Chain A
Amino acid sequence: MTPIRVLLADDHKLMRSGLRLLLQQSPDFTVVGEADDGREAVELFNSLQPDVVVMDVGMPRLNGVEAAAQIANAKPGAAIVMLSMHSDESYVLRALRAGARGYLLKDSAEADLGRAILAVKEGKSFFSPAVSKVLLEDYIRKLARSGAEDSFDLLSTREREILQLVAEGNSSKEVANLLNLSVHTVETHRSNLMQKLHLRGMPELILYAVRKGLIS
């Protein structure tokens, strides 16, 4: 198997070299380029066409979220893992909206980076476990204080199944194959569950799934 070509973008050299050493330990990965800021990351992505981009959220000139959006715009479905120090929903949601599928906390990067790169390479999602923990806590607190019901309880078993598979990064067709259903049925379930959960798009769906601990 040819190693996965990775582009590293982080304005901190120390962090970058740490990540590179980490990746070089495994034959599965090869670091093809390193960028100092968002603009350089976009340029290198376009010229190197790496399999996966691992990118810091906060960078000078062009920040990671903007850079991810530009990359995803240039190549829809591009595999991007965001690196961040924050487990806050603001970051996760915006990273997802920008087109990232993986979200790694820097504290746990060395444990999860490989898994995250492999997941997004295959079109799946990956989130640091600590992120889903924080999101879940926020969600539970909010429900408790507002006295609202957990909308998750409104979902049927099939809908939950589909929610999880979609959030993991499977297309409707893949879900249909996995569950032995027609694509049309999967699409119907999908739009129903989105309505029940008041979700307005894939990023929110993924965030919801992360929050519920359905994916990590």
Chain B
Amino acid sequence: MLQTDRTNDHPGRGARLFLGIAFGSLVVIVLAAGWNALTTLGEMHVREESARLDFLSRTEPIVKVRSKLTVYGNLIQESVSAEGVASSQAKEIFDQLQTELGRYPPLRKPDERTLVERLQMLLTEQDRDYRAMIGLRDSPRMKLLLDSQVVPGQRRAFAAAEEIVSWNTGRLRAADSELLSSFNQLRNHMKRLLFLLLGAALAIALSGMVLIASQQGEIRKRYAELAKNHEAQADLSARLMNAQEQERLSISRELHDEVGQSLGALLVELGRLTSILPEKNAGIQEALRKIRASAESSVTSVRNMALLLRPSMLDDLGLVAAIEWQAREVSRRTDVEVEVDAPELSGELREDVKVCLYRLVQEALNNVTRHSGARHAWVTLRQDQSKIGLTVRDDGKGFDPDRSRGLGLVGMRERLRLLHGLLRIESSPGAGTSIVATLPLA
């Protein structure tokens, strides 16, 4: 019984381990996913930043080229009417314009290259046309050339610059949408992970609940088993106590009735023999006296044994007489003077109640003489219609009932419990002890 219990000591150990691991993994996954999301977001931020910077670094020179181109165009038109100052200014602006274009970052894509090279070419054509126009030195022809060549060239260069900007804008948009898609991807990823984690957490919680439920079931089962064992034990102890009492009774009767009475009869016969035999025969009389003395001591020891096992007064005279006898016996044998206050009980008590109360007094007085150091003890018996109350009080040193076990109190409780009685112990160090037993008379 005990062995199998021990092997099953922790029925939920495997399940608990599983739950622990599952919960741990869950935490690790959440942490890893969080870390991953953070780094991905950081990377995306960096990519977005670099795309934006790239865009700015590529559009800024072109924007500047465009504004210089406007200034340049104005100066060209001015130089038709007032050359000299304007033309030198135009040349300066054109140089600046070239410089700006030169600041365009290194080209990476073929179509970008085409666009920039085209702008470059258009600007070169512009410059060439302008120089050709200045070289004419004739306003009407210059105007003609201006309208036919320079202005359209300028417009084309403008458009080319515009195209570069819009190409870059397109690229920025593409980068943006790429970022957006990876952000969406991340979001979806996180969403899936969240659902997965929720599912896993739910599963863990569910299995936890199942485990708890099964353990509670197990506990309930154990408890029921325990209660059953307890009951069986109580039953057993009741039967044992009963059997012990019966055994004592029968041995006591055997001793008292058979051995004791035979010895008693022997004494009577011896007495008769003594009176029949001539008194002059001193030898025989002396032998008879010796036999008689040894028979008497045998009677005494047999009687004492029988009484110890089961006081015959319990059967002959009832409970009160037996308690009074017990009290006197204790007073004779020990330094404790025991007084009994018990009215003759109305009606005869049930056998088991009598025995129980008698044994309680016996055990309580035993405790008094052995442990209490008392000088006096008082046994009080009170009976009413429904119950009988027994108190054994002493003036000894007392004890702390909450801390003292043993002292036969367990046995007393057990005896009482079997008859649905109660035991109360009132004691504290230095204040004596009262043992109060109450038994229902049902």
Contact = CB atoms under 8 A, between A and B. Distances in A.
**Chain B at the A interface: mostly helix, strand, loop or mixed?**
helix
A200 interface: no
B235 interface: no
Contacts of B261: 12, 14-15
Contacts, number: 100
Contacts of A19: 268
Interface of B: 256-257, 260-262, 264-265, 267-272, 275-276, 296, 299-300, 303, 312-313, 315-317, 321-322, 324-325, 328, 331-332, 337, 375
Interface residues of A, number: 33
30 contacts: A12-B257, A12-B261, A14-B261, A14-B265, A15-B261, A18-B268, A18-B269, A21-B268, A22-B268, A22-B272, A25-B272, A25-B275, A57-B316, A63-B315, A63-B317, A65-B317, A85-B256, A86-B325, A91-B316, A106-B264, A106-B267, A107-B267, A109-B264, A109-B268, A110-B268, A110-B271, A137-B332, A138-B331, A142-B331, A145-B337
A146 interface: yes
A12 B299 CA distance: 15
A150 interface: no
Nearest to B303: A85
B337 A142 contact: yes
Q: Which of A22, A64, A110, A111 has the most CB atoms of chain B within a 10 A radius of its CB? A: A110
Contact of A90 (B264, B270, B299, B325): B325
A142 B338 CA distance: 9
A21 B276 CA distance: 12
A151 interface: no
**Chain A at the B interface: mostly helix, strand, loop or mixed?**
helix
B196 to A, nearest CB: 88
Contacts of A90: 313, 317, 321-322, 324-325, 328
Contacts of A138: 328, 331-332
A91 B315 CA distance: 12
A175 B299 CA distance: 40
A12 B328 contact: no
A12 B260 CA distance: 10
Given A58-B312, A107-B264, A94 B296 contact: no
B337 A15 contact: no
B337 A107 contact: no
B272 A21 contact: yes
Interface in A2-34: 11-12, 14-15, 17-19, 21-22, 25
Interface in A102-141: 106-107, 109-111, 137-138, 141
A106 B270 CA distance: 13
B233 to A, nearest CB: 36
